[in-house]
Amino acid sequence: MTKNNHPESFVRMVSDGYFQAMGVPFRAGRDFTERDTASSELVVVINETLAQTLWPGQNPIGQIITQDGGRRVVGVVGNVRHISLEKGFTNEMYIPIRQTNDFSSLDVVVRSNLPSGEVATSVRAALKAVAPNLPKNEWRPLRQLVDKSVSPRRFIVLLIGGFAAFALILASLGIYGVISYSVNQRTQEIGIRMALGASVRELQARILYETLRLAAVGILIGTIAALGLGRTLISLLFGLTQPIR
């Protein structure tokens, strides 16, 4: 067992059941319990990033962090992006709320299959005795917070998708116009070929072959350009680390 001066970390005070409600997975150790009180040993749960920073390749469970004079690590949880999806993982630690006196601001997290309006009404009724002046507009589904976080990126992707669809329509109209113009310019040639015995099916196949050949060249050039721009598009997408192939 070693005692480590932890690097700068984001600290959250939570109650037991918080990780289950938020869907944060445990990698090792245990959750907080009702026995983790102010009179018991000070404990802490850390995330994977902090565990790897302080004890790379070691088991962090049972180690001591110099937070509040010394807290024993009892669990390691998965990394969570609290600020935005674009920002990387940071060092985080979770302290049981029963071992702190900081109650200036509290967030209540509820997991339920009921509609959000019914959940808000039930929770407000349950907390009315201790907090009768709870605001009515502060209840928001977690999905709403996630959607708000990704909305700028989503708008950009939708905008690019719209331009891409418009470009596809313009390209289709352009190809049609070029082929139509080419056929009109070759009316005399087509008439001569038919006079020499060429069938309509043969002429159609020849024109279709030439059209597909031009389309194949365009697809090849477009594919090469798309691969070259893949790294730029990755910055607009969440969770991708390799070029699009």
Measuring CA to CA, which residue among 57, 66, 68, 61 is closest to residue 46?
Answer: 61
Can you give the pLDDT at residue 94?
92
Using only C-alpha atoms, the chain has a radius of gyration, in whole angstroms, of 31
What is the per-residue burial (b if ≥16 Cβ within 10 Å, else e) of 194-210? eeeeeeeeebeeeeeee
Q: Is 62 left (phi over 0), alpha (psi -120 to 50) or beta?
A: left
Tokens standing for residue 175? 């190809």
Task: Give the separation between CA 219 and CA 86, rounded to whole angstroms.
Answer: 32
Q: When comparing pLDDT for 217 and 144, which is higher? A: 217
Judge whether residue 1 has pLDDT over 60.
no
Q: Which of 9-13, 162-166, 208-212 has the lowest mean pLDDT?
A: 208-212
* Contact criterion met (CB below 8 Å) for 47 and 93: yes
Can you give the pLDDT at residue 29?
93
* Contact criterion met (CB below 8 Å) for 44 and 93: yes
Q: What is the pLDDT of residues 98-137, one digit of tens each?
A: 898 766 667 777 787 777 777 777 777 777 776 667 666 6
Judge whether residue 42 has pLDDT over 60.
yes
Centre a 10 Å sphere on the Cβ of residue 18 and count the other Cβ atoms it contains: 20
Tokens standing for residue 186? 């070759």
As a whole number, the mean pLDDT across the chain is 81
Angle between helices 200-234 and 187-195 (to 10 degrees): 140
Can you give the pLDDT at residue 243?
44
Task: Give the separation between CA 192 and CA 55, rounded to whole angstroms.
Answer: 84
Instruction: Match 């150790």 to its residue by tokens.
Output: 29
Tokens standing for residue 218? 């365009």
How large is the average pLDDT for residues 140-161?
80
How large is the average pLDDT for residues 84-88?
71
Judge whether residue 32 has pLDDT over 80.
yes
Measuring CA to CA, which residue among 111, 78, 110 is closest to residue 94?
Answer: 78
Judge whether residue 3 has pLDDT over 60.
no
Give the angle subtended at the CA of 29 by the CAs of 101 and 19, to the nearest 5°: 55
Judge whether residue 227 has pLDDT over 60.
yes
Q: Which of 9-18, 69-78, 130-139, 190-199 has the lowest mean pLDDT?
A: 130-139
Q: What is the pLDDT of residues 45-56, one digit of tens each?
A: 999 999 999 999
How large is the average pLDDT for residues 82-87?
71
Can you give the pLDDT at residue 118?
76
Can you give the pLDDT at residue 241?
55
Q: Which of 32-46, 131-145, 194-208 has the lowest mean pLDDT?
A: 131-145
Domain boundaries, the chain: 3-107, 142-234
